[in-house]
Structure 1
Amino acid sequence: MSLAQVLFYVMAFIVVGSALFVASTKNLVRSIFMFFITLFALAGLYVLALADFVAITQIVIYVGGILVLILFAFMLSGKETLNVLQQQKSKFISLNKLPAILLAVLFFMVMVNVITKIDAGNIGWIKQVISTNTDIKPNEEMINNIGINLMTRYLLPFEAISILLMMALVGAAHLSRKERGAV
């Protein structure tokens, strides 16, 4: 077994284990930090798959953006709401959760069926691309082009979205403070 295979299995174990912990724990703080580990391990899997750009994008967008927003939402939540969520007593498998469990099992069976029966070499559009040699080969110019377009042509929409997200964050903080002062 090569070092790449060992790293793949370690990263895959970390991703699956931490994702299961996120889904099953009742402690929101631990869940958020394990989600952080899940996203970083997933970026590690992208690096092992030689998709460096996707790995960096994963870290910047999900870890740098989405996870920070989740942390802010958690920190700005009222203590009463968090206590109610953590004090709910429910079993892992109950009658209320039966439709969700059945749907998850059905989805898992479909995924396993597709993975075991697919023959990627005999898919029509893949054969056509290989025979006509029209596949796009990744190179440095593609990634440079994305960066140049993002900082020139699409700079205004990029900055507008960042200002909109900042306004939403400030508004959430303001609403949170008003609620606390009124009580």
Structure 2
Amino acid sequence: MAAIVLGSALFVAASKNLVRSVFMFFVTLFALAGLYVLCLADFVAVTQVVVYVGGILVLILFAFMLSGREALEGLQQQNNRLLSVNNLPALLLASLFFIVLANVFIKANVDDAGWLKQAVASHNVITPQTITINNLGVNLMTNYLLPFEVISILLLMALVGAAHLSRKEEVAT
């Protein structure tokens, strides 16, 4: 599942065809939901499918369909070489991030983590029978109600902005 996520994400980033990139992004988001299922985070997986695949990806598809043909052709005809002077800072930052990430993976000894052994010894682990959705719903509607409402207003503003940007401008004569 991780190989599907990484492969499709690399295809999205490297593809010059916007339609193929959007559909491979669809595959990436579904595979990420599959990873959440494998991690026993079923609520997060369903939320991933509903919010990102059902909402964000559809919004991207609408923006793609509403954009002008000239703008899309201009994007596809740009000369985007991977190794150029303009891309040098991004490549340096990406390689530095990759080195740090590889170093963390090499030095991390997950099987010998003290906090993990302590959690298993005290039976403080999440099992497939544990119901966390009830606790999540109660916390979302009590302790975290204000951030939840702020995020919903932010998403509403993003939708209104996307609808405003997709309108055709009238030419004044």
- The question of a shared fold, defined as TM-score above 0.5 by the shorter chain, is answered with yes
1:70-100 per-position Cα deviation (integer Å, ceiling 9, x unaligned): 2233233333322221110122222221221
- Secondary structure in structure 2 of the residue aligned to 1:96: coil
Query: Would you say the 8 A contact 1:76–1:173 is kept in 2?
Result: no
Give the superposition deviation at 1:128.
5.7
Q: How many residues align?
A: 169
If each structure's helix is expressed as a fraction of its own residues, which one has the higher value? 1
Give the superposition deviation at 1:19.
0.8
- Secondary structure in structure 2 of the residue aligned to 1:95: coil
The answer to whether the aligner puts 1:47 opposite 2:42 as a matched pair is no
Give the 5 Å matches for 1:1-183: 11-123=1-113, 125-126=115-116, 129=119, 133=122, 135=124, 137=126, 139-140=130-131, 142-148=132-138, 150=140, 153=142, 162=152, 165-166=155-156, 168-179=158-169, 181-182=170-171
Task: State how far apart, in whole Å, the 1-side matches of 2:146 and 2:152 are.
Answer: 10
Task: State how far apart, in whole Å, the 2-side matches of 1:46 and 1:106 are.
Answer: 28
Give the superposition deviation at 1:20.
0.9
Give the superposition deviation at 1:182.
2.2
| Sequence identity (%) | 67
Query: Would you say the 8 A contact 2:26–2:57 is kept in 1?
Result: yes
Gaps of 5+ in 2: none
Give the superposition deviation at 1:146.
2.1
- Secondary structure in structure 2 of the residue aligned to 1:62: helix
Amino acid at match of 1:42: L
Task: State how far apart, in whole Å, the 1-side matches of 2:21 and 2:125 are.
Answer: 39
Gaps of 5+ in 1: 1-10
1:9-41 per-position Cα deviation (integer Å, ceiling 9, x unaligned): xx2332122111100011222111100101101
Task: State how far apart, in whole Å, the 1-side matches of 2:113 and 2:33 are.
Answer: 28
Amino acid at match of 1:60: V
- Does 153-162 or 18-27 show the bigger shift? 153-162
Query: Would you say the 8 A contact 2:119–2:125 is kept in 1?
Result: no
RMSD: 3.0
Give the superposition deviation at 1:170.
4.3
Give the superposition deviation at 1:103.
1.8
1:108-156 per-position Cα deviation (integer Å, ceiling 9, x unaligned): 121111111112355555566566x38364521x212323555x55779
